[in-house]
Copies of this chain bind each other. A is one copy, B any other.
Amino acid sequence: MISTPDQFTIAGKQYSSRLLVGTGKYKDFAQTHEAITESGAQIVTVAIRRVNLGQDKSQPNLLDVLPMDKFTILPNTAGCYNAQDAVRTLRLARELLDGHKLVKLEVLADDQTLFPNMPETLIAAKELVRDGFDVMVYCSDDPIQAKALEDIGCVAVMPLASLIGSGMGILNPWNLQIIIDRVKVPVLVDAGIGTASDAAYAMELGCDGVLMNTAIAKANHPVQMARAMRHAVLAGREAFLAGRMPKKIYQGSPSSPVEGKIS
């Protein structure tokens, strides 16, 4: 049993929620805010884009909806296809967020799969670590390269469960298991979660956390799914800590006493 609250630490800061969420694909900021509040997430990802010079300046900004004093803002490099663009984007993010160091690096290979470009990811990670960033890195489930990213100095490795936005769930739990066994920094499943049981399963494998966006934002009822995911991550985490019963492939085992039956 855990008497102390079950926290986890990224880049020296403790968090009680192991569910990280994206802020894209919502109907409007109201839904974004309600869903993220229900999710209980403390870390939320944002993208960096050119200011829309045409837009009405009175309309609220995302950071008004998700204030930096309430949430840890995690700027990402979504849409970057090489190391240079990713590094440049995160330097802008750091300036934008007053020197904020915690970032999510993702260098994509193509816009059809959004699969990570691992060689460019390794280059960008080296450069960002050298430049003083705390890098959480989206990567493939290759255990060797995940370990290499830790060795470079990334503060968390975030292998995909399946393609970004696919909702296919965890396609290769075995590779994730090897990563979890070998990597000391937090391992978070990023991308591919489709529903609550996927998130619970990821946590049962021993992941330190789960990052998702589409599974919540594109559910029929995003706010309710956000709540489902909060429970799912807690469920999976508790189950991992509780230590599941062994599987018995064949023989059933009665839950009621075999003695004392009437006859």
Contact = CB atoms under 8 A, between A and B. Distances in A.
A247 B168 contact: yes
A70 interface: no
Given A175-B171, A221-B242, A223-B1, A252 B113 contact: yes
Contacts of A243: 219-221, 225
Pick from A2, A47, A199, A222 the residue with the most CB of B within 10 Å. A47
A157 to B, nearest CB: 15
Nearest to A24: B255
Contacts of A163: 174, 248, 250-252
Identical copies in the complex? 4
A241 interface: yes
Interface residues of A, number: 105
A67 interface: no
Interface string A55-97: 0000000000000000000001011100001001100100000
A164 B255 CA distance: 8
B89 A262 contact: yes
A2 to B, nearest CB: 7
A17 interface: no
Contacts of A49: 257, 259-262
Interface string A234-263: 111111011111111111111111111110
A214 interface: yes
A183 interface: no
Contacts of A219: 239, 242-245
Contacts of A228: 234-239, 242
Given A49-B259, A113-B178, A232-B239, 14 more contacts: A22-B256, A24-B254, A162-B174, A164-B255, A166-B248, A167-B244, A167-B245, A171-B171, A171-B172, A195-B239, A213-B255, A220-B242, A227-B238, A231-B232
